[in-house]
Amino acid sequence: MVLIVLAYDAHAADLLFQVVSRRYEQKSIVITTNLPFKQWDTVLPNAACAVALIDRLTHHSEIISIEGESYRKREAEQSQRRKQEKSKR
């Protein structure tokens, strides 16, 4: 299952919750995010939905926290600098 989350309206959040609920204790789910759980209410419009979703995702889960600089961010910044240098020439 692949998710790209910017922000959900109530309908989309409900659909996400349904997918997670159906897979709960049946199939594996892998989710990556740069937001800690306490900030999920910024992308899910309903705090109760966020709490229930987090509850299902964290039950029987293995949470791996990776600290460090994002290589994608670093590459994007380098690309931006190269473009700016070319435009100055």
- Mean pLDDT of successive 10-residue segments in the chain (89 residues)? 60 84 88 83 80 90 84 87 85
What pLDDT, on the 0 to 100 scale, is given for residue 68? 82
Distance CA 38, CA 83 (A): 37
Contact 44, 53 (CB under 8 A): yes
Distance CA 38, CA 25 (A): 23
30 secondary structure, DSSP code: -
Tokens of 24: 């709960």
What pLDDT, on the 0 to 100 scale, is given for residue 4? 52
What pLDDT, on the 0 to 100 scale, is given for residue 28? 87
pTM, two decimals, is 0.61
What pLDDT, on the 0 to 100 scale, is given for residue 8? 66
Tokens of 32: 């990556």
What pLDDT, on the 0 to 100 scale, is given for residue 70? 80
